[in-house]
């Protein structure tokens, strides 16, 4: 059942009789739509609305509730998979794989790698630097 939650959030039913409350995207803001969708899912995980091993709705259902294209949701889900928060594959259920803390750590590590590359360091050099830290 999809219904409206307080504070203008849309509820998406997830298994085990829980709901995932998601805020609508802001089409007038500067933040890309897929990043807004990913942020809402991250927030829901951090707030305990869905935990490790729990399934979340399929992309088409999330897209319908959020009022965005399914490809926008798929892009957000791929981003969260890269962060280690979700597990998903063709024809498979989307499940929560990690904690918000792990996702935050992966995000920071990617930022570090990007920063290092802009400074002229390669991946192996960055790994060597990290290994040398106490």
pLDDT tens for residues 74-105? 999 999 998 888 998 777 789 998 777 777 77
Give yes or no: residues 94 and 107 share one domain. Answer: no
Ramachandran assignment for 110, one of left (phi > 0), alpha (psi -120 to 50 degrees), beta (any other): alpha
Q: SS3 for 105? A: helix
Give yes or no: residues 116 and 92 share one domain. Answer: no
Give yes or no: residues 70 and 114 share one domain. Answer: no
Residue 32: its pLDDT value, please?
93
Give pLDDT tens digits for 17-75. Answer: 456 788 888 888 889 999 999 988 888 888 888 888 888 888 998 998 888 999 999 99
Residue 19: its pLDDT value, please?
67
Q: SS3 for 39? A: helix
Domain with 131 in it: 99-134
CB 79 within 8 A of CB 34: yes
Give CA–CA dist 14/16, Å, rounded. Answer: 7
Give yes or no: residues 75 and 124 share one domain. Answer: no
Ramachandran assignment for 53, one of left (phi > 0), alpha (psi -120 to 50 degrees), beta (any other): left
> Domain tally for the chain?
2
Residue 2 has pLDDT above 50, yes or no: no
Give pLDDT tens digits for 101-125. Answer: 777 777 788 888 889 999 999 989 9
CB 87 within 8 A of CB 94: yes
Give yes or no: residues 123 and 62 share one domain. Answer: no
Residue 127 has pLDDT above 50, yes or no: yes
């Amino acid at each position: 059942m999809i219904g409206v939650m307080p504070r203008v959030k849309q509820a998406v039913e997830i298994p085990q009789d829980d709901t995932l409350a998601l805020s609508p995207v802001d089409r007038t803001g500067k933040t890309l739509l897929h990043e807004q969708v990913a942020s809402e899912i991250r927030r829901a995980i951090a707030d305990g609305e869905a935990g490790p091993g729990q399934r979340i709705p399929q992309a088409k259902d999330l897209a319908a509730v959020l009022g965005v294209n399914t490809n926008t949701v798929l892009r957000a889900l791929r981003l969260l998979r890269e962060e280690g928060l979700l597990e998903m594959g063709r024809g498979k259920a989307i499940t929560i794989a990690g904690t918000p803390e792990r996702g935050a750590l992966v995000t920071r590590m990617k930022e570090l790698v990007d920063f290092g590359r802009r400074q002229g360091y390669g991946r192996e050099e960055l790994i060597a630097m990290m290994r040398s830290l106490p």
